[in-house]
């Protein structure tokens, strides 16, 4: 079988487009679990590798509504585990604002509940507004990545505390747990001190899958060392190839092979039966962007308040703050390259928060995804529908079959766990 | 309609009896979600008010297996929300080892997912072994209760940040959230600093239900001020009446009525078709207690290492440590009153961890529960089956119908939310 594409579904509230909820017929409530369950079932019908939930840790009522108002990812995914049977379930939890003992056990628990479909998207939380909800000070970028590295090591170590055969449950002898097969961690590092063992047995996947998205240099190093799946933010194929090659080249230094890390650039597909219909749909969506929301979103992505600048002026010469998203670099360089006005930049950011927008017929979209996939730019894609449900069902019903006809995408799930879908083996505990 | 009894189901891993998993035919895996889903469906068939999960934050492979190995409560309850439709879903989260922003949002999320069935059992975590998993020092009893009081206030405040009508979602105007109807909390207290608002809209129940079990003086004051349901640990009806009256008497000082707090003593029912059969079943269970497990569990409940004492000697004159459970006081006073040997005490503790064991035919059990319920000892019961499934299905199939025949228990759910089941109104946000 030729190499197969991997697909993730990114669920961000009312759709990734800032105004997706205004599209005619769109789902407008994202605290309605039944709507989310329908989205998950659609993704599973489309044989996606995984569903993936973002997160943030503050509410700004003036910003993107999906940032401000959402179900908490772990409870939502645990509930989705029971209404799906094969698709992977990934949730974002911050390494800056959570503790490793709790993170290790919730993802192990999700892995047990879902029979091996859990994934943790480890983020460091870029938005400094989170700190005020946790009574603390937002650590700077470098320190957040130092914490993240240690945090990931601790969580991995906790996942390895229980041998696979530690639970004996021998009713005759009365031995339930064999203490010799349960190991403390005894971690004491610069940021965390965690004794262990964790109070949940070894996960069906051994270790739940780890996702990461950091685009900075420390983010790329951390991903090369610890991630199974990397979401990337890119706008053009050349840039995607360079980033892909750079990440894969880093793996050997950590004793890892290229097949062990799946790189999925984010893409917002706007699908129409024809290219014209697709562009007309995008125009409808862009027409809904309100300048205040657009600027608030741009300010959030850049980490700089942009409300004072002239919308019809050039992109101001702004230094990136320490808290910037990797989006910021990608977007600013594109905007300067293409001589955009501030209005163009916020429109682009509002569309997909800096991610690549791919607009066209199923053939056009499949052609482009195929080119990226076969020429070293991607192992698959993190699909970010602009709105739900039609903005996603069109991808599943029109684009997926086209990818399958080309032999690029599975026609059934071959395995049962997310590791199976990604072609990853089940790791033995490291001691 | 006469006053109705309330019933909660306490799920502790392999059953509340330390050796319940050894009972012939018992469920032995408690990381198997399908078994837990079956238990939840049985409880809903029995029209229970709620299911309730304990928790602990450390693993001791030598202790009660259900303490050491379990699914994480929030992920487990969220998954149970989708396989049940009416029963309340309560989970334990510690006010000593969690943060209020995260706790407020997970329970609000569970309340949205379950359409108004979430409950938080707020505990302070008695076992000092938790601290080593969080890189911290276990606060003393008084400090834990001071923290808990502030923690509960912050969580309540976060639940009140969003007005019911804050989500406008007006596609025509583009207004999704009305910022005037979302309020910051701006809490800055002795232990927590939390700005808010929380990033999830107002819960279906307004505020999820709050459960508590603290039996100490600060625990009782906290419960009187903040709890909707109180689980109590009692061994005799006289003691239960005194405790019930004392708690209800405290409510007026906090501007609350007696009907606003439901008191549920814990009870482990051992049901047989006859009293003889029930006692024979208890004897089988007690015969499975292993002295090392029995002593480890007793040590855990008392907060003192009991392994060095003579099993056939009297109860040693031990001072209670600062970290004791309320179980400890109840059990030690009973043991001294009844002149028990250490072996008797650990057998009793192993049976139900210090809770009341009620053994008999459906008539005997209903008689006793009715007496407690009608003479000021209880508003209902927290049912702790010794093992699953038969140790619980017998209660649902034999005892519940007897309670219904006597007009003491509902014959159908009248409402849809846990507040409905408990007769509690939906609170307006406090500003």
The CATH classification of domain B6-273+354-422, taken from the options 3.20.20.30, 3.40.50.1580, 3.40.190.10, 3.30.360.10: 3.20.20.30
- Per-residue pLDDT band for A423 (boundaries 50, 70, 90) equals very high
Q: Say whether pLDDT at B119 is over 80.
A: yes
- Note whether ipTM > 0.90 here: yes
Q: Mean pLDDT across the stretch A317-321? A: 74
pLDDT of residue A326: 67
Q: Nearest by CB to B70, which of A101, A161, A199? A: A199
Helix axes A237-251, A217-226, angle to 10 degrees: 50
- Per-residue pLDDT band for A325 (boundaries 50, 70, 90) equals low
Q: Say whether pLDDT at B357 is over 70.
A: yes
- Per-residue pLDDT band for B321 (boundaries 50, 70, 90) equals low
Q: Say whether pLDDT at B61 is over 60.
A: yes
Residues of B in contact with A98 (CB under 8 A): 102
Q: Say whether pLDDT at B14 is over 90.
A: no
Q: Nearest by CB to A82, which of B26, B83, B200? A: B83
Report the distance separating Cα A179 and Cα A259, nearest Å: 36
Q: Check B109 against A76: CB less than 8 A apart.
A: yes
Q: Check B57 against A199: CB less than 8 A apart.
A: yes
Report the distance separating Cα A229 and Cα A247, nearest Å: 11
Q: Mean pLDDT across the stretch A147-169? A: 97
A183 is in an annotated binding site: no
Contact of B392 with B92, CB cutoff 8 Å: no
Q: Say whether pLDDT at A292 is over 70.
A: no
Identify the weakest region by mean pLDDT among A274-283, A300-309, B227-236, B243-252.
A300-309
Report the distance separating Cα B110 and Cα B119, nearest Å: 9
Q: Which token pair is A168?
A: 């004996």
pLDDT of residue B215: 80
Q: Say whether pLDDT at A83 is over 90.
A: yes
Identify the weakest region by mean pLDDT among B34-48, B242-256, B321-335.
B321-335
Closest CA of chain A from B27, distance in Å: 10
**Alpha helix ranges (H) inside A160-307:** 217-226, 237-251, 275-287, 291-302
Per-residue pLDDT tens digits for A63-82: 778 788 899 999 999 999 99
Q: Check A177 against B290: CB less than 8 A apart.
A: no
Residues of A in contact with B150 (CB under 8 A): none
Q: Which token pair is B250?
A: 């405290």
Report the distance separating Cα A427 and Cα A190, nearest Å: 27
Cβ neighbours of A427 (radius 10 Å): 13
Residues of A in contact with B58 (CB under 8 A): 199
Q: Say whether pLDDT at B291 is over 80.
A: no
Contact of A92 with A121, CB cutoff 8 Å: yes
Residues of B in contact with A72 (CB under 8 A): 105-106, 108-109, 200
Q: Say whether pLDDT at B323 is over 60.
A: no
What are the distances in angstroms from CA B101 to CA A42, A427, B156?
32, 34, 10
- Per-residue pLDDT band for B292 (boundaries 50, 70, 90) equals low
pLDDT of residue A241: 96
Closest CA of chain B from A203, distance in Å: 10
Contact of A105 with B76, CB cutoff 8 Å: no
- Which phi and psi angles does A14 have, rounded to 5°? -85, 20
Per-residue pLDDT tens digits for B161-181: 999 999 999 998 889 999 999
Q: Please state the domain extents for chain B.
A: 6-273+354-422
Q: Mean pLDDT across the stretch A206-229? A: 94
pLDDT of residue A322: 61
Entry pTM: 0.94
Residues of B in contact with A59 (CB under 8 A): 161, 182, 196-199
What are the distances in angstroms from CA B33 to CA B16, B41, B92, B277?
18, 12, 18, 31
Residues of B in contact with A161 (CB under 8 A): 59
Cβ neighbours of B45 (radius 10 Å): 14
A50, containing H or E segment: strand A50-53
Report the distance separating Cα B67 and Cα B297, nearest Å: 10
Q: Which token pair is A71?
A: 């179900």
B229, containing H or E segment: strand B229-232
**Known binding residues of B:** 55, 92, 141, 145, 216
Torsion, CA B248, CA B254, CA B260, CA B266, rounded to 10: -50
**Angle at CA of residue A293, ends A292 and A297, nearest 5°:** 120
What are the distances in angstroms from CA A265 to CA A203, A323, A422, B59, B306?
28, 22, 15, 40, 58
Per-residue pLDDT tens digits for A247-274: 999 999 999 999 999 999 999 999 999 9
Q: Which residue has the higher pLDDT, A58 or B65?
A: A58
Identify the weakest region by mean pLDDT among A196-200, A257-261, B17-21.
B17-21
- Which phi and psi angles does A313 have, rounded to 5°? -90, 180
Could you say which DSSP state residue A206 is in?
B
Torsion, CA B342, CA B348, CA B349, CA B355, rounded to 10: -140
DSSP B347-368: HHHHHHTTSEEEEE-HHHHHHH
Report the distance separating Cα A191 and Cα B111, nearest Å: 34
Contact of A50 with A119, CB cutoff 8 Å: yes
pLDDT of residue A92: 94
Q: Mean pLDDT across the stretch A291-306? A: 76
Q: Mean pLDDT across the stretch A190-207? A: 97
Max CA separation in chain B (angstroms):
79
Q: Nearest by CB to A113, which of B75, B101, B113? A: B75
Establish, for the pair of chains A and B, how many residue pairs have beta carbons separated by less than 8 Å.
Answer: 195
Q: Check B78 against A83: CB less than 8 A apart.
A: no
| Most trustworthy range by pLDDT among A336-350, B34-48, B213-227 | B34-48
- Per-residue pLDDT band for B299 (boundaries 50, 70, 90) equals confident
Residues of B in contact with A17 (CB under 8 A): none
Q: Which residue has the higher pLDDT, A355 or B102?
A: B102
pLDDT of residue B30: 84
Q: Check B195 against A132: CB less than 8 A apart.
A: yes
Mean pLDDT of chain A: 92
Closest CA of chain A from B72, distance in Å: 6
Report the distance separating Cα A266 and Cα A327, nearest Å: 11
Closest CA of chain B from A84, distance in Å: 11
**Residue tagged 């056939």 (tokens):** B312
Report the distance separating Cα B115 and Cα B81, nearest Å: 9
Chain B residue whose CA is closest to A26: B171
pLDDT of residue B403: 98
Q: Check A57 against B179: CB less than 8 A apart.
A: no
User: In sequence order, what are the beta bridge partners of A194?
Assistant: A187
Identify the weakest region by mean pLDDT among A406-415, B87-96, B343-352.
B343-352
Residues of A in contact with B174 (CB under 8 A): 19, 22, 288, 290, 293
Report the distance separating Cα A48 and Cα A123, nearest Å: 22
**Alpha helix ranges (H) inside B304-341:** 326-337
Chain B residue whose CA is closest to A133: B194
Closest CA of chain A from B151, distance in Å: 12
Q: Check B171 against A28: CB less than 8 A apart.
A: yes
Preceding peptide of A351 cis, ω within 30°: no
Preceding peptide of B213 cis, ω within 30°: no
pLDDT of residue A348: 77
Class of domain A6-271+356-422: alpha beta
Q: What's the first-to-final CA gap in chain B, in angstroms?
A: 36
Q: Check A99 against B134: CB less than 8 A apart.
A: yes
């Amino acid at each position: 079988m030729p190499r197969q594409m991997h697909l993730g579904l990114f669920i961000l509230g009312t759709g990734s487009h800032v105004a997706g909820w205004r599209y005619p017929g769109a789902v407008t409530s994202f605290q309605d679990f039944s709507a989310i369950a329908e989205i998950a079932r659609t993704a599973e019908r489309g044989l996606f590798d995984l569903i993936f939930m973002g997160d943030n840790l503050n509410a700004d009522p003036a910003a993107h509504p999906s940032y401000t108002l959402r179900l908490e990812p772990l409870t939502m995914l645990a509930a989705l585990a029971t209404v799906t049977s094969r698709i992977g379930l990934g949730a974002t939890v911050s390494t800056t604002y959570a503790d490793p003992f709790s993170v290790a056990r919730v993802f192990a628990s999700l892995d047990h509940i879902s029979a091996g479909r859990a994934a943790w998207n480890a983020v460091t939380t870029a938005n400094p507004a989170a700190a005020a909800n946790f009574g603390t000070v937002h650590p700077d970028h470098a320190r957040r990545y130092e914490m993240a590295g240690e945090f990931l090591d601790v969580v991995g170590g906790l996942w390895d505390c229980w041998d696979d055969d530690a639970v004996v449950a021998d009713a005759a002898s009365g031995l339930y747990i064999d203490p010799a097969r349960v190991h403390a961690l005894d971690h004491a590092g610069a940021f965390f001190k965690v004794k262990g063992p964790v109070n949940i047995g070894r996960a069906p996947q051994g270790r739940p899958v780890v996702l990461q998205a950091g685009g900075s240099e420390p983010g790329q190093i951390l991903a090369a060392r610890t991630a199974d799946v990397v979401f990337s933010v890119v706008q053009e194929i050349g840039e995607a190839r360079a980033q892909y090659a750079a990440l894969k080249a880093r793996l050997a230094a950590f004793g890892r092979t290229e097949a062990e890390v799946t790189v999925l650039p984010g893409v917002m597909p706007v699908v129409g039966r024809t290219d014209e219909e697709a562009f007309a749909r995008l125009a409808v969506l862009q027409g809904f962007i309100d300048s205040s929301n657009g600027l608030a979103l741009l300010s959030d992505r850049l980490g700089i308040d942009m409300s004072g600048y002239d919308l019809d002026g050039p992109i101001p010469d702004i230094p990136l703050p320490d808290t910037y998203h990797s989006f910021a670099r990608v977007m600013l360089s594109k905007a300067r390259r293409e001589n955009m006005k501030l209005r163009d930049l916020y429109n682009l950011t509002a569309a997909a928060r800096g991610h690549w927008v791919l607009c066209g017929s199923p053939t056009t979209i499949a052609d482009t995804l195929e080119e990226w996939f076969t020429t070293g730019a991607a192992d698959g894609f993190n699909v970010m529908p602009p709105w739900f449900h039609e903005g996603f069902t069109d991808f599943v019903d029109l684009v997926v079959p086209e990818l399958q006809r080309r032999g690029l995408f599975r026609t059934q799930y071959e395995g049962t766990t997310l590791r199976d879908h990604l072609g990853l083996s089940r790791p033995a505990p490291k001691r």
